[in-house]
Amino acid sequence: MPVERTLSIIKPDATRRNLTGRINARFEAAGLRLVAQKRLSLTRAAAEQFYRVHAGRPFFAPLCAFMSSGPVVVQVLEGEDAIARNRAIMGATDPAKAEKGTIRADFAESIEANSAHGSDSPETAAQEIAFFFSALEIVG
Ligand code: CMP
């Protein structure tokens, strides 16, 4: 299996409830390494830019408002098959459909406030990592 990097975001609903450490423990227990991490507040414009692929979808405006409503923790996870592994740990986008024991099943409040984001392909991961981090900030 290839060693990959993926972009993860711990969303405002989770930082508000002080869940960063519990979520990170799940990544580490599953063999993913946190090779970069920072806590920041997204401006509305930055959220719109990050989620531009969803512009025009009915949930775009409320999603961008939510993502800029409080702190997020952006991070790079590294490990074998990291992109798919992270998505398995997170569970389905809609917490009502997420498997038991996943981050979204256990912590998410709604499909919008779903506690975590993870890149969905190697191309997206490269773009999303570069959105938040310079090469110097990623230490494997
Ligand atoms: P995320 O993985 O961050 O990618 C896009 C986000 O849009 C998604 O998680 C959800 O939080 C949010 N969203 C809100 N409504 C929907 C929806 N109906 N379908 C997909 N994503 C949605």
**In the prediction, which pLDDT does 45 show?**
98
Mean pLDDT of the chain: 98
Say what the pLDDT of residue 47 is.
98
Q: What is the pLDDT of residues 82-98, one digit of tens each?
A: 999 999 999 999 999 99
Confidence of residue 106 (pLDDT cuts 50, 70, 90): very high
Q: Ligand 1 centre from 136 Cα, in Å?
A: 30
Just list the catalytic residues: 117
Whether pLDDT at 140 is above 90: yes
Q: Which residue has the CA at smallest separation from atom 10 of ligand 1?
A: 112
pLDDT over 90 at 43, yes or no: yes
> Does the pLDDT value for residue 1 go beyond 90?
no
Which atom, in ligand 1's list, is nearest to the CA of 62? 14
- In sequence order, what DSSP letters do the residues of the chain get, joined into one string? --EEEEEEEE-HHHHHTT-HHHHHHHHHHTT-EEEEEEEE---HHHHHHHTGGGTTSTTHHHHHHHHTSS-EEEEEEEEETHHHHHHHHH--SSGGGSPTTSHHHHH-SSSSS-SEEE--SHHHHHHHHHHH--GGG---
The answer to pTM > 0.75 is yes
Pocket residues: Cβ below 6 A from ligand 1: 54, 59, 63, 93, 111-112, 114, 117
